[in-house]
Structure 1
Amino acid sequence: MRSEWSGLPVRHVLPQLLSALDEHGVAVLTAPPGTGKTTLVPLALAGLLDGSPARKVIVAEPRRMAVRAAARRMAWLLESRVGAEAGFSIRGERRAGPDTIVEVVTTGVLLQRLQRDPELGGVDAVLLDECHERHLDADTALAFLLDVRATLRPDLRLLATSATADAVPWARLLGAGASPAPIIHASGTLHPVTEIWAPPSRPTAPPHGLRVDPAFLSHVADVVRRALAEREGDVLCFLPGVGEIGRVAGMLGGLDLSAGPDHPGGPGDASGPGVPHGADVPGGIQVLQVHGQAPAHVQDAVLAPGRTRRVILSTSVAESSLTVPGVRVVVDSGLAREPRTDHARGLGSLTTVRASRASAEQRAGRAGREAPGVVYRCWSRAEHDRLPEHSRPEIALADLTGFALQAACWGDPAAAGLALLDPPPPAAMAAARRTLHALGALRPRAAADAPDVSAGPPDTPDAVVTDRGRRMATAGVHPRLARALLDIGPRAAEVVALLSEQLPRDADDDLVAVWRSARRGRDGFSARWRQEAERLARAVPREGGESSGPRSGAGGSRNSGPAGTRNSGPAGAWSDDHLAGMVVALAYPERVARRRGGAYLMASGTAAELPAGSRLGAAEWLAVAVADRPAGSATARIAQAVVIDEEIAEVAAAPLRGSGDEIAWRVPPGQRQGDVSARRVERLGAIELSSAPLRDAGVRPAVLDGLRSEGLSVLRWPPEAAAMRERLAFCHRALGEPWRPVDDASLVEAADLWLEPELSRVRRRSDLERIDVAAALLRLVPWSARLEEVAPERIEVPSGSRIRVDYSGERPVLAAKLQELFGWDEAPSVAGVPLVVHLLSPAGRPAAVTGDLASFWREGYRAVRAELRGRYPKHPWPEDPLSATATRRTNPRR
């Protein structure tokens, strides 16, 4: 055993920690980074420091990079090799043997092991490291372990460790309802870290989705150069993703970002665009790029002392768990990536967010692990005060399909009995269960004795996992991808491996082209892809040899439908295009898409668009592998897809197929007016496959919908109909109930009343236009009233003429030639409202308006007579109009 362990600060609390675990079986350890909690504590738990009897210990880390680093560090302390006393296991790689006492694993591997062997036979203690990061797998693993302690292994010792001091919630959780678990605090050698606020001199655009303003990245590169000039030691720069790491590396190295010596670059590549993982920039400074998919040799180089000064560009993987020697300076962009899930549309993506204050403190602490350091923060102090205190836990943000399957395999599909700091959001869990039902992984509890198939997608948590669901859970990929792997067989492994990796940012939107490029590639991404494809091919249970395509019954799920396509038969005989299309469509049946105009409609009902100039744009059908929906947009963006035909779409999305009668008021695309549509429609989700007209269907609800959506304009309104409506409106204003209002909303609401029986005869829009609206409106007249008595259409004047009354204004108007009203000293009232009289000249033009006819004859007539008598000499203009005889004629000729 090397003597260096005695210099690790955590050694001072080891007796207290071991005593707490002996007494309570659970404990929480808080210790700053660099104190030895990840490497020395497991050795103490295993009895490797004091020669006590060996105890098997599992250490769970959230990241593969931390797993390798912890195992290497412990093997170094033990003066041994990795795989002897200390080993590790990650997905697709295991370096541990019969003599391994301390095994470091990812939380995902621990979950798989718990599902296979809940008792963890032979294991004495489990240490869950970096709990404060709140990864979903870590939260789930701790919940399972607490369940194991409560029911199967009360002797199993559990230790949760955190680099933050906020340990009370964890202590309560581990206390399992009794007294909280003991909290052990280890203080480290905390070197001071000086804060330097370095915001951009000019405003930059905030991050949006995966896009980070290039001007801001240029500013980060400038801050790195400033740090190199002002300070000594290695520089650790935090950036949100691999794409940003590559861009900043290119800016630092003065390299051409459009070409790379090894590979095209991007988020899924081993490095950024055109920049190797390790590159020397002018001045003898080495630039290293660190992320979860970085090659092992780069990870080794980061964790070993450098021979030259280094700039280490890293995602959040370097926030904790790892001690990066030589770092004295941190440059923090203040950005991070979080998952976002659109549960209604089945779309998930990553988005760029501002890091929390807790994360910023973690990052800054990296500069003070070995000596006093400095942190350059690329934002202002005022912005810092507005940051969220903590990052949101992954369980609140992520797609929970995998979590729901793990919970179902554990025997708790609703996750109601799991000890979690934060419960899963109900809507996200309901969406996850619907997906698992569709994949055949769950079935209703009432069907527990039925064949192993899904009986439907109810939103109830009362379900049980199927045998197929258990096989999906062991595949080590998302349940959707596991479904395709099980249905098709080992040959699907290459496509599934492609879909389980984050693809390069500049990857072609044709997934088949990406697949063929990976086959030819010699870069880090291609190497990782080959390794994962081989692992998946080995993981597929072979039932009598190669799968023959989508299966049903025990070997698959009826949800996958029959294998009745042109390429049906052994999957080994399928073309690349057919195989890739089938894998994607089986994994994401709701993303099967059909062309609609210049875009596509997915079976989920979401519209989606290809990038401009895409080679896939001529396809009628697509299986969409990767898509996201920008915030505020109703249309999804397709990142990768495969051209398929209708047969593949129908096979893969068979559960979404249905037929039914659709009777509705529809507005055809590109038109403004709708019409009744009565059809028998075959659909694949929201995609229409075929339709046939329905005869003698009841279309009345559709007609009423048309009235509600387009209003009364669907009817024909000749002048007599408009006049009738005005009379009824006047009656409602003047008399109120029982006269009904006849505004648009009221007429539409009462359509059943006044448009019967015409509505029962309507089959299309043209039938509505033939309705006699004036006659129909008469049905609104109260049964106890007569419209002609209350609001007569015409009124007889002294000349004997019957003049139409205009009811369009607030008061009814009678417009008549002045000579026809001689002798009429008072106009009648209508419904108690006096008429307004418009007196017209012989030519029918307005001469005067009055509401008091007698007053007009006394005071206004003389002026009108003087003005018009000379213009119309043939018409009578008596001096006394009240005694004159009203007439429609001119003066007789002399």
Structure 2
Amino acid sequence: MVPLPIDEIMPQLIETLRSHTRAVLVAAPGAGKTTRVPLALRDEPWLAGKRILMLEPRRLAARSSARYMASALGEQVGETVGYRVKMEAKVGPSTRIEVITEGVLTRMLQADPGLSDVGLILFDEFHERSLHADLGLALSLQTQSFFREDLRLVVMSATMDAAAVSQLLNDAPVIVSEGRVFPVETRYLPRSLEGRLETNIVQMIRQALIEETGDMLVFLPGAGEIRRVEALLRESGLPANAFVAPLYGALPQEAQDAAIAQGVPGKRKIVLATSIAETSLTVEGVRIVIDSGLMRVPRFSPRTGMTRLETIQVSRASADQRRGRAGRLAPGVCYRMWTQQEDRALPAHTTPEIREADLTPLALELAAWGADDPADLAWLDPPPKASLEHAHELLIQLGALDSSRRITSHGRDLAEMGMHPRIAHMIRRATERGLTDLACELAALLGERDILRGRSHLEADLRLRVEALRSVAGGGMAKRGEVEVDEGACRRIWQEAGHLKQSWGNMHKERTQSSDSLMEIGALLAEAYPDRIGQRRGSGKYLLRNGRGAAFASEQSLSYAPYIVAAQLDDQGTDSRILLAASLTEDQLEDVCMESIEEETAVWWEKSSQSVRARKRSRLGALILSEATVAQADPEAVTAALMSGIASEGLGLLPWSRSARQLQDRLLFMHGLDKAWPDVSDEALTRTMEEWLGPHVHGCKSRDDLARLSLPTILAETLSWNQRRELDEYAPTHIVVPSGSRVPIDYSDPESPILAVRLQELFGWKETPRIGMGRVPLTLHLLSPAQRPVQVTRDLASFWQNAYFEVKKDLKGRYPKHYWPDDPLQAIPTNRTRPRT
């Protein structure tokens, strides 16, 4: 075999694993770790005939690396080296090295926690930090600790944080391969990218074809960009010796294999790829890499319970992996579609999937494993609590967990199916109804990009997709009327559906498939997405069971359905746009959600009518399925709703008469002097409403009923017997002044009660009157004959001695007919113009 950089450190790795059960291997892209390490370790004595499992993030990489190793041994895949991926396996009785995708390891561990016939697990390209890789490592570490001390674990990558991984593995030895096969020149843009990405990529492809030799690997964010770049290249024309080879996960296996195979002599291959080609693959003949600097990742929102795809900048680690694709077989060049300044701002690593993914599959696996608390396992990044909480709620709705969050027998069945719990639950329920074929077709459709094209893509009805899928599979036309269909995608999805039917169709004895099974699409979707059942609330707008809003982008056939199930939404704005959905009848809804529909009597305060309303409701989450008026509601519930209304709208709902407010002010005055007196401020009354008001509102249902209450009487009941007796003495409502008038006291300012009285009525009164056990002088507002204040004082004696004579001059000039004596203390008080003689 051709020497590779990894060969130099292989003796060190072999020796390390003879004395340690854990190790971390860091090797540059192209060093050969994926294909050389398993072969070098397969005959180690500590393996004792046991198998080696090597995890790969993607199916294409698993198949490719298995073929390469088998070829190096002069064998076919399935002999010494085999692979096992979703829906496909090539292994045999003599297989010693098994390359598997990460989810397969989880299934193996759940079936046999001790992995009795496995001696070594290699976690390749661990820097990608997929959800399954993190879970697989966490479970493997616990297996090693509890069952298999002899089990070896090696974590491998080119760009991971080796120190953090080593620490997770209890300070495992770190082995580093410094070598690189061939140098790669990196070229940056002179200025930031402007205009459409696809147009700029095509220009760079043409430039690279002129400047460099060899095949080319172009990294783009997704299949849509790949198709558009391919179309632009074909429209503008390519050199006669160049051809395009797309490479992304949804392509058939034959097309993927053709993209990574050795090119035709004399021809230049331009591989347009997603991140699928970033690691573990050698695309034969590639010497040029063009990196868009973008990747598409799923982002899950615990708030909405939905996942959406986002296009983000690559990390430095991903950019280095991509660049390494150009130097595997010869010196290469990497064109980066960003500037050197922008390169310095790239994040070091891509955010681990466990932080941003839908954790429902993880939560089910942990429950099946028996891990009640995720903290019992070792994680580089523990699962976020909010996402895990949402996952538990969904699994309870699916019946996979009980109310105590323990896995049910149904949950164990779902976990064994190796697919998302939503889809597994749908297929299980469909099998019981004799609808397995339809469920498998829906599962395959939902797992791929949309098969409709053009304007028909805006129509969200899943029934159109199933009809188109069946038509193409039956040899029908790929385009019918205005509906454009991706024929290649249909064939691939039909093949995937066939695998599912074969795997799960015989799980239970099925009833005869009904001829009108398309009418059951909504019912099956409701099994998978019970949280996204929607109720129509306007033109094309729906309220979902989880409380979120959703709407169709344009008017369509489903816009008038009373109920729908939304399988895909874009999670943008107040109302998420519905991308894929199906209609649901009331009978289907009640059948699917029978155990979740709650009957309740709702009693609430209605602001518009200023009264308590009571209705009996049939509820499914946020959806009100039916309701009717209740004539006689529970009196306690009515009172609680009334009190809630008062609390929300304020004490202004109560009949505050002038005497009620005066009593409140007097009590506040006394509370200021002595905290033993009740606090009857609006804030305190609102806070303690149950205590002082509650006993008096039984039987009241509206504001009109409240108007019949006597607040003075109710407030007085907050006082003790002694306080009632002392109130009139310490905080009188009126005071008799020298003229004989009975003048009210204003307590609106509890700290300074006011007595507003005409000056002439106080003649002969030497001192300011006091209240509140003699501790508080009244604030006197001395009024003119026209009832206007001419002086404010709390020291009447001082006023008579000093200010009175100036005030007298002014008042005598304005009111000459009135009585203005020179000695006010000896004068006769009067409430008339002049005192009677």
TM score, norm. by length of structure 2: 0.82
Equivalent position SS for 2:684: helix
**Structure 2 matches for 1:584-599, cutoff 5 A?**
584-596=525-537, 599=541
| Counterpart-to-counterpart distance in 1, 2:543 and 2:136 | 39
**Alignment deviations for residues 417-470 of structure 1 (CA, whole Å, 9 cap, x no partner):** 65655444455445544544443445xxxxxxxxxxxxx3214xxx3552x434
2:447 counterpart of 1:500? yes
Deviation, structure 1 residue 340: 3.3
Q: Counterparts of 1:173 and 1:812 in 2: how far apart (Å)?
A: 73
Q: 2:580 aligns with which of 622, 626, 640?
A: 640
1:105 aligns with 2:41: no
- 1:207 — aligned with what? none
Query: CA offset at residue 776 of structure 1?
Result: 2.5
**What is the CA distance between 1:225 and its match in structure 2?**
6.4
Q: Deviations over 1:383-410 (max 9, x none)?
A: 5555443333333332333234344445
CA contact (8 A) 2:462 2:582 kept: yes
**1:67 and 2:62 aligned:** yes
Q: RMSD of the TM alignment (CA)?
A: 4.2
Given candidates 506, 515, 525, the residue that maps to 2:489 is 525
Q: Is the 8 A contact 1:738 1:782 kept in 2?
A: no
CA gap of 1:856–1:215, structure 2 versus 1, over 3 A, is farther
Unaligned segments of structure 1, at least 5 residues: 203-213, 256-278, 443-455, 548-569
Instruction: Check if 1:720 corresponds to 2:659.
Output: yes
Q: Give the secondary structure class of the aligned counterpart of 2:221.
A: coil
- Aligned-partner residue type, residue 773 of structure 1: L
Structure 2 counterpart of 1:392, one-letter code: T
1:622 matched to 2:622: no
Shift of residue 292, structure 1, vs aligned partner: 1.7
- 1:222-301 correspondence runs (5 A): 234-246=215-227, 253=233, 286-301=243-258
CA distance in 2: counterparts of 1:224 and 1:717, whole angstroms: 81
Larger mean CA deviation between 192-201 and 599-608 belongs to 192-201
The equivalent position to 2:133 in structure 1, one of 121, 128, 138, is: 138
Give the Cα–Cα distance (whole angstroms) in 2 for the partners of residues 483 and 584 of structure 1.
Answer: 10
Bigger shift: residues 744-753 or 86-95: 86-95
* SS of equivalent residue, structure 1 residue 728: helix
1:200 pairs with 2:224: no
Is contact 1:171-1:183 (8 Å) kept? no
Q: What letter is aligned with 1:495? A: L
Residue number in structure 2 paired with 1:457? 403
Match of 2:6 among 10, 20, 24: 10
- Relative to structure 1, the CA distance from residue 498 to residue 201 in structure 2 (aligned partners, 3 Å threshold; closer, same or farther) is closer
Deviations 1:839-892 (A, max 9, x none): 334343444444444555566556655555576565445555554433333469
Q: Give the aligned partner of residue 477 of structure 2.
A: none
- The 1:614–1:522 alpha-carbon spacing in structure 2 relative to 1, beyond 3 Å, is closer
Amino acid at match of 1:686: A
Displacement after TM superposition at 1:320 (Å): 1.0
Q: Which runs of 5+ in 2 are unaligned?
A: 473-484
1-structure distance, mates of 2:189, 2:160: 25
The separation in 2 between residues aligned to 1:218 and 1:701, in whole angstroms, is 65
Partner of 2:179: 187
For residues 91-136 of structure 1, the C-alpha deviation after alignment (integer angstroms, 9 at most, x for no partner) is 2344566776655432334444555566778777654422232222
Give distance in 2, aligned partners of 1:493 and 1:717.
Answer: 68
Aligned-pair distance for 1:336?
Answer: 3.4
* Residue type at the aligned position of 1:622: I
Check the 8 A contact 2:127/2:160 in 1, yes or no: no
Out of 320, 323, 329, which is 1:361 matched to?
A: 320
Is this contact kept in 2: 1:26–1:158, CA < 8 A?
yes
Aligned match of 1:602: 544
Shift of 1:63: 0.5
Does the residue aligned with 1:6 lie in a helix, a strand or coil?
A: coil
Q: Would you say the 8 A contact 1:571–1:579 is kept in 2?
A: no
Deviation at 1:697, TM superposition (A): 2.4
CA drift at 1:44: 4.7
Residue 516 of structure 1 corresponds to 467
2:403 partner amino acid? P
Matched, 1:163 2:158: yes
- 2:514 aligned counterpart, secondary structure: helix
Pair 728,611 (structure 1): closer, same or farther in 2 beyond 3 Å: farther
The count of residues paired between Structure 1 and Structure 2 equals 801
* Distance in 2 (alpha carbons) for counterparts of 1:403 and 1:571: 33
Q: Is residue 188–residue 340 contact of structure 2 (8 Å, CA) maintained in 1?
A: no
Quick one: distance in 2 between partners of 1:756 and 1:165? Answer: 65
Structure 1 counterpart of 2:279, one-letter code: S
Tell whether 2:362 aligns with 1:403: yes
* Sequence identity (%): 41
Once residues 689 and 713 of structure 2 are traced to their aligned partners in structure 1, the CA distance between those partners, rounded to angstroms, is 14
- Counterpart contact for 2:85–2:104, Cα < 8 Å: yes
1:580 partner SS:
helix
| 2:624 corresponding residue in structure 1 | 688
Q: 1: distance between equivalents of 2:643 and 2:94?
A: 79
Structure 2 residue 278 is the aligned partner of structure 1 residue 319? yes
CA 91–199 in structure 1, closer or farther in 2 if over 3 Å, else same? farther
Measure, in 2, the Cα distance between the counterparts of 1:152 and 1:869. Answer: 109
Aligned residues of 1:582 and 1:652 also touching (Cα < 8 A):
yes
1:530 to partner: Cα distance: 0.7
The answer to which of 593-602 and 855-864 deviates more is 855-864
**Residues in 2 aligned to 1:469 and 1:861: alpha-carbon distance in whole angstroms:** 93
Is contact 1:84–1:99 with CA below 8 Å preserved after alignment?
A: yes
Residue type at the aligned position of 2:253:
A
CA contact (8 A) 1:198 1:377 kept: no
Q: For residue 658 of structure 1, what is the amino acid of its counterpart?
A: E
Matched ranges for 1:324-723 at <5 A = 324-343=283-302, 345-379=304-338, 384-410=343-369, 412=371, 421-425=380-384, 428-429=387-388, 431-442=390-401, 456-459=402-405, 463-464=406-407, 466=409, 468-489=410-431, 490-491=436-437, 492-503=439-450, 506=457, 508-519=459-470, 520=472, 521-542=485-506, 545-547=509-511, 571-576=513-518, 578-596=519-537, 599-613=541-555, 615-627=557-569, 629-630=571-572, 636-663=576-603, 665-667=604-606, 671=608, 675-691=611-627, 692-693=629-630, 694-699=632-637, 700-723=639-662
* Distance in 1 separating the partners of 2:117 and 2:793: 108
Using the alignment, how far apart are the partners of 1:573 and 1:674 within structure 2?
54
Corresponding letter in the other structure for 1:797: V
Mapped partners of 1:102, 1:536: distance in 2:
27
* 1:806-821 pair list within 5 angstroms: 806-809=746-749, 811-821=752-762
- For 1:229 and 1:745, the matched residues in 2 are separated by 80
Counterpart-to-counterpart distance in 1, 2:586 and 2:174: 61
Whether the 8 Å contact between 1:806 and 1:812 is mirrored in structure 2 is: yes
Distance, in Å, in 1 between the alignment partners of 2:190 and 2:599 is: 62
AA partner of residue 187 (structure 1): G
CA distance in 2, matches of 1:878, 1:143: 101
State the match for 1:267 in structure 2: none
Offset at 1:217?
A: 6.8
Q: Secondary structure at the match of 2:717?
A: helix
Spell out, residue by residue over 1:661-714, the C-alpha distance to the aligned partner (whole angstroms, 9 max, x if none): 545x4456xx5x865445554322232334453534214443443343332222
Find the partner of 1:763 among 695, 701, 716.
701
Q: Structure 1 residues 813, 615: CA separation in 2 closer, same or farther (over 3 Å shift)?
A: farther
Is the contact between residue 92 and residue 531 of structure 1 (CA under 8 Å) also seen in structure 2? Answer: no
Q: Give yes or no for contact 1:404–1:414 (8 Å, CA) kept in 2.
A: no
- CA distance 1:892–1:742, change in 2 (3 Å): closer
For residues 94 and 659 of structure 2, the distance between their equivalents in structure 1, rounded to whole angstroms, comes to: 100
